[in-house]
Structure 1
Amino acid sequence: MVNPAAGYGKGAKIVGEVEKFLRTNDLVYESFFTKKGQNARAIVKKRLDESFTDLLVIGGDGTLNDAINGIGENRKVVVNVISTGTGNDFIKSVNVGSNLIQQLDTLLHGVEKTIDLGVCNERLFHNGVGIGFDGQIVADMKQKKRPLLLWGYGAYLYRVLRILSSYQEKQLSFSIDGKKYTKKVLLLTVANGTTFGGGFVLTPDAKVDDGLLDVCLIERILPWNRFLSLSKLGAGRHGKLEEVSFFKASHVSIEADKKQWMHIDGELLGHPPFEINIHKKALKVRVRASA
């Protein structure tokens, strides 16, 4: 499954090299490309009904999200990943290799690992969902053109810094395993993985196979302190900030709020309400033998 647009065209550039590798190693395969506006999940489901044993995803976190939602409850299929997106957060929590050479080696010599998946309003996610500041960044990326002379991760960081300087915390009502909260929130992330936005370690203690969701709540931070806090997020050292709280949970509920955006695996999901749960041991992934 190839998303040719992932990583500003990186997916399209490497597909020939990947197919050559598959042929050289006598792996029987069939390629298909996703297109903008296409129901990629339905295509994955149809292809897997044709008795394929493995799915190789060439794309970013959003492409992988489409793939796992196409797989659904088909737990016999093993997912392989070649990351060509902008953030590539999945590979920071699941050791499939950090570059093309390692990921091709994993495809050939890796071992199966069963991981958990989250589910938000019946849509599966591999890494996490977020509302508030990070949801607004994704909404901004979808609704506006990229900045002139900036692309890839540079364009993303530009938006982070611009929105960070002006974003106003909004009141949010939510519950974590039944305990209710109403707070002014800069960010609320419910995670299966550790890293978001390509390098922000929001939930450093998250594990993809522990049967739990990790929640990071960041309350109001004064604008002039936000940039210092951002540097701590990048290193996963924000746990000591008084505005930050962490939780382990099985269920998170977010009440209706038309003023706030939610993202799912870096793709825009919409506005609350949302019900978020964990699906234990839901997906087989091929990882490096040392993982």
Structure 2
Amino acid sequence: MRQFTAVVNPTAGAAATAAAALLALARLLREEGAGLRTEYSRSLAHARQLAREAGQEGRIVLAVGGDGIAGGVGGALSGTDAVLGLVPAGRGNDFARALGLPRDPAALARVLLHAAPRPVDTVEVSSAVHDRTVVLGSVYAGVDALANRHANRSRLRGSAAYYAGGLRAVTTWRAARYRVTVDGEELTHTGYTVVAANSGYYGSGRLVAPDARVDDGLLDVVLIREAPRRLFFALMKELRTGAHVHRPQVRVLRGREIRIAADREVPYGADGEVDAVLPVTVRVLPEALRVLY
């Protein structure tokens, strides 16, 4: 029977939500004879350490929380033989959404107990001033990173936090001039954002890259160029369904390695965490992680 180690989100408020989500799941796993050990991490770096140690012991590592903890734990296990399971209990849960994971504890327990591990791609992120890191979902540079920063500091939960953060970011944003290099081919882009997406979803359910696949060895690069604010708000609504990609202001490319730079200080984020500014280089790591889904 499978042996699990659950690594719980270190953020104080989120930890309570994650613990509640894990409680019902834990009972179901143990009733089937599975072993479960729970680790409460002190920081994202500590969560990565706990994940690596559990993986080295041959245990399945459960990332309990949202996209930040999923990306941190998944990134720590990337390139190893360890297996990752996700317990979506955060604000966005976008990578879990892309995998089609259920929120219902009984249905999720069946996946964790019986699904065969499947390989997915991960994303290497590096810059001149930050250590190399690996994440799961996407890297985004522009107004969305600014919106995510606001959302992370908000007292609101779920989509409401992202919507409020987006309104605040858009009202103060001025178009940035980007230099984007996709597999060695450089282009210029003036606008709102550049997104390098492994997963199609970001920002709590927004389908930014509808054709992105987590196992195709490619990143979908979504560029949203300068437009009147009223049109950008229409684009934000269309992100719910992915219809924005049909707008002339949106361009989608695909590649394995993407470098994003800008003419001014532009924030970028990865898997819900925003703590850096451009330039950044993003590279896909094909089938680098085994996940239960």
Selected match of 2:144 from 125, 134, 141? 134
Structure 1 Cα separation of the partners of residues 238 and 158 of structure 2: 22
TM-aligned CA deviation for residue 36 of structure 1: 4.2
Change beyond 3 A, Cα 1:236–1:198: same
Bigger Cα displacement from structure 2, 190-199 vs 32-41: 32-41
Selected match of 1:151 from 157, 160, 182? 157
Structure 2 Cα separation of the partners of residues 127 and 47 of structure 1: 22
Structure 1 Cα separation of the partners of residues 70 and 272 of structure 2: 11
Change beyond 3 A, Cα 1:258–1:271: farther
Corresponding position of 2:202:
196
Structure 2 Cα separation of the partners of residues 247 and 132 of structure 1: 17
Structure 2 Cα separation of the partners of residues 154 and 178 of structure 1: 39
Determine helix, strand or coil for the equivalent of 1:255: strand
Matched letter for residue 80 of structure 1: G
Contact 1:127-1:191 at 8 Å conserved across structures? yes
Q: TM-score, normalised by structure 2?
A: 0.89
Q: Does 1:99 align with 2:104?
A: yes
Structure 1 Cα separation of the partners of residues 71 and 44 of structure 2: 15
Structure 1 Cα separation of the partners of residues 245 and 52 of structure 2: 40
Q: How does 1:6-155 map to 2 (within 5 A)?
A: 7=14, 9-36=16-43, 39-49=46-56, 51-74=57-80, 76-121=81-126, 122-142=132-152, 145-146=153-154, 150-155=156-161
Change beyond 3 A, Cα 1:248–1:102: same
Structure 2 Cα separation of the partners of residues 42 and 201 of structure 1: 31
TM-aligned CA deviation for residue 152 of structure 1: 3.5
Structure 2 Cα separation of the partners of residues 213 and 80 of structure 1: 22
Structure 2 Cα separation of the partners of residues 123 and 210 of structure 1: 21
Q: Normalized per residue, which structure has more strand?
A: 2
TM-aligned CA deviation for residue 235 of structure 1: 1.1
Structure 1 Cα separation of the partners of residues 264 and 106 of structure 2: 44
Structure 1 Cα separation of the partners of residues 55 and 116 of structure 2: 21
Displacement over 6 Å in runs of 4+: none
Which blocks of at least 5 consecutive residues in structure 1 are unaligned? none
TM-aligned CA deviation for residue 196 of structure 1: 0.8
Q: TM-score, normalised by structure 1?
A: 0.89
Matched letter for residue 137 of structure 1: A
Determine helix, strand or coil for the equivalent of 2:245: helix
CA RMSD in angstroms comes to 2.0
Contact 1:80-1:286 at 8 Å conserved across structures? yes
Structure 2 Cα separation of the partners of residues 170 and 128 of structure 1: 20
Determine helix, strand or coil for the equivalent of 1:31: strand
Contact 1:91-1:98 at 8 Å conserved across structures? no
Matched letter for residue 139 of structure 2: V
Determine helix, strand or coil for the equivalent of 1:29: strand
Corresponding position of 2:4:
none
Structure 1 Cα separation of the partners of residues 104 and 98 of structure 2: 14
Change beyond 3 A, Cα 1:185–1:99: farther
Determine helix, strand or coil for the equivalent of 1:163: helix
Contact 1:110-1:286 at 8 Å conserved across structures? yes
TM-aligned CA deviation for residue 22 of structure 1: 2.4
Structure 1 Cα separation of the partners of residues 22 and 190 of structure 2: 46
Which blocks of at least 5 consecutive residues in structure 2 are unaligned? 1-6, 127-131
Q: How does 1:173-212 map to 2 (within 5 A)?
A: 173-212=179-218
Structure 2 Cα separation of the partners of residues 257 and 184 of structure 1: 10
Query: C-alpha deviations, 1:148-189, integer Å up to 9, x for none?
Result: xx4343222111123223321111112111111222120100
Structure 2 Cα separation of the partners of residues 283 and 36 of structure 1: 22
Corresponding position of 1:238:
244
Give the fraction of aligned pairs with identical amino acids, expressed as a percent: 24
